[in-house]
A and B are shown apart, each in its own frame.
Chain A
Amino acid sequence: MTSALQPGRSAPRRAGQAVFIVAALVLVLASFASLDLQWTGLFSSAGLAAMGRFGAEFFPPAREPHFLHALAGAAGETLAMSALGTLLAAAAAALLCVPLARVGGGGAAARVVRWLFNLLRAIPELVWASLLLVSAGLGPMAGTLALALHTSGVLGRLFGEAIENAPPGPALALRLQGVGTVQVLLYATVPQISPQLLSYVLYRWENNIRAATVLGVVGAGGLGQMLAFHLALFQMGRTASVLAAMLVLVLIVDLASYLARRAMTR
């Protein structure tokens, strides 16, 4: 946006930039000062040696068959959590977006829906999971619902924008025939934006598999729960295996999502 030479850059603008830089520096310094970080402990020779020892304990990663079996089960749980959570979120977002597609913007219902999406989005998955543990109990159901709630907000906003920006011709023609909002959505708007909607869902699945792996740390099942468990017992070898499984799972889902998106654009 800016070019290398910009004569006539207004003085107020430059003053504003200077103020911002000063304010940012003040914030940074205040942050470090107020936190009382343990630099010495970390970067002293003793600290570094401790970290080195800690790192070495990860090898070799555990490979006993019964442990690997449990690992596979947990990975399946995590995968299922992420997929179901994303699917539920897509369905919920699609339903809630109907008021947004009404002629004239949808009025009060649309405002409520937008507010709801913002609320769902604002609260991170982990916080949702912690909140839901009371009702849903420990285990992957809390994780699935947490993912579904948060992702509904994200997808709801993305779907809403896609609907608003869709070319209006086909929808207008049907509305002039007196066709209702839902039918107009199904026959005119969604057919135009369906690849976009699907790619949003796939992109959120990629995000959710990462989120799902860590939700277990608060008790929502899957690989995260295994990680927290073995870490608490200082079983570093098993922890390393769990971490490896997490990485592999993320790679698999990323690959699946990429292939799906490639298939769509063919």
Chain B
Amino acid sequence: MAGPVAPLAAGMRLDLEAVTLRRPGASGGRRPILDGVTLRVAPGEQLAIVGPSGCGKSSLLLAAALAQRPDAGSVRLDGSEAWAAAPRRRQQLRRALFLAPQAPPLPPRQRVVTAVLAGRLPMLGLWRSLSSLIYPDDIAGAQQALAAFGLGERLFDRVDRLSGGERQRVGLARALVAPARLWLIDEPLAALDPVRAVAVLDELCAQARQRGITLVVSLHQAELAQARFGRIVGLRDGAIAFDAAPAALHEGQWRDLYAGDEPPAMPAPAPALPPPIPAMCR
């Protein structure tokens, strides 16, 4: 379908201001999950969050998705302070964002078409939702979304008949049908092989760019992040270690980020790295 690209500035603005998230039931001594994180994302911007395991990447995305009220600091979406607003306004904001968790949140016995179309629920009324269960509402839309990630043929299969990587891609396809202006994607490439991972990441970024949607992706594959994103945020122990374009970062910053963790997949050789020590980065 040839036509104009979706207008820019349709994306949501995200502002995290000194957000702190403590562990549930934790007493004074232990480090919080997120510690004074400040992050400003402009509408339509695309950025990647990187860091060692357990550094708080998922929690940052959850905080941005309004999943949990921060113990300190504020979360602003499109300028509105989300947690100070009325519940109704908060629900409105939630309908405009989309979080793809690391483990695809798909009921095993559901069919792929229904699992994908569940992404449209925020804009369907109760009656349409009910009738869509009996006969799916927008098969064409679901098929297009799945085809973008190479799963067009699996439309009517059951989710539990798919491999782990296929399920992850179905979870991403949901984003394409959701009425969201902010995509928060948590480790979308974990179950994918390297070649497929590159293609999926490219597709995700292209879709977001075309629709002008703000995209925040957490990645474990640092090299891909460097290659595909114009802005990288490094997170370590719940605090931001760096926030810059990949060209502006040097090797030492990367090393410090992952110090103590297994060496990341880095293009440049790291000759003097100590052998990986399994560390508790919590």
Contact = CB atoms under 8 A, between A and B. Distances in A.
- Are chains A and B touching directly in their complex (CB below 8 angstroms)? yes
Nearest to B110: A191
B125 to A, nearest CB: 9
Nearest to A187: B118
A183 B94 CA distance: 15
Nearest to A188: B107
A183 B109 contact: no
Interface string B114-130: 10001101101010011
A183 B92 CA distance: 16
Chain A binding surface, main DSSP class: helix
Contacts of B126: 180, 182-183
B99 interface: yes
A177 B121 contact: yes
Given A176-B67, A178-B92, A188 B99 contact: no
Contacts of B101: 169, 173
A84 interface: no
Contacts of B107: 170, 187-188, 191-192
Contacts of A188: 105, 107, 118
A187 B105 contact: no
Interface in B92-115: 92-99, 101, 103, 105-110, 114
A19 interface: no
Nearest to B109: A191
A260 interface: no
Interface string A160-194: 00000000011011101111101100111001101
A187 B109 CA distance: 11
Given A183-B129, A186-B129, A186-B130, A178 B105 contact: no
Interface string A183-213: 1001110011011000000000000000000
Interface residues of B, number: 32
A194 B109 contact: yes
Contacts of B96: 178
B109 A179 contact: no
B97 to A, nearest CB: 7
A173 B105 contact: yes
Given A183-B121, A186-B130, A187-B114, A177 B105 contact: no
Contacts of A170: 105-107
Contact of B103 (A169, A183, A186): A169
A170 B93 CA distance: 20
A162 B68 CA distance: 25
Contacts of A180: 126
B88 to A, nearest CB: 10
Nearest to A190: B107
Contacts of A174: 105, 118, 121
A91 B240 CA distance: 52
Contacts of B129: 182-183, 186-187
B122 A179 contact: yes
A245 to B, nearest CB: 39
B66 interface: yes
Interface in B22-80: 65-67
A76 to B, nearest CB: 31
A19 to B, nearest CB: 39
Nearest to B121: A179
Contacts of A172: 67, 105
Contacts of A186: 129-130, 133
A178 B119 CA distance: 11
A177 B178 contact: yes
Contact of B91 (A173, A178, A194): A178
Contacts of B118: 174, 187-188
Contacts of B225: none
B180 interface: yes
A178 B66 CA distance: 10
B108 A176 contact: no
B133 to A, nearest CB: 6
Interface of B: 65-67, 91-99, 101, 103, 105-110, 114, 118-119, 121-122, 124, 126, 129-130, 133, 178, 180
Q: Please give me the 8 A-B residue pairs with the lowest Cβ-Cβ distance, nearest first.
A: A178-B94, A173-B105, A178-B95, A191-B107, A170-B105, A169-B105, A191-B110, A179-B121
23 contacts: A169-B103, A169-B105, A170-B106, A170-B107, A173-B99, A174-B118, A176-B67, A176-B94, A176-B97, A177-B95, A177-B97, A177-B180, A178-B92, A178-B93, A178-B94, A179-B121, A182-B126, A182-B129, A183-B124, A187-B107, A187-B110, A187-B129, A194-B109
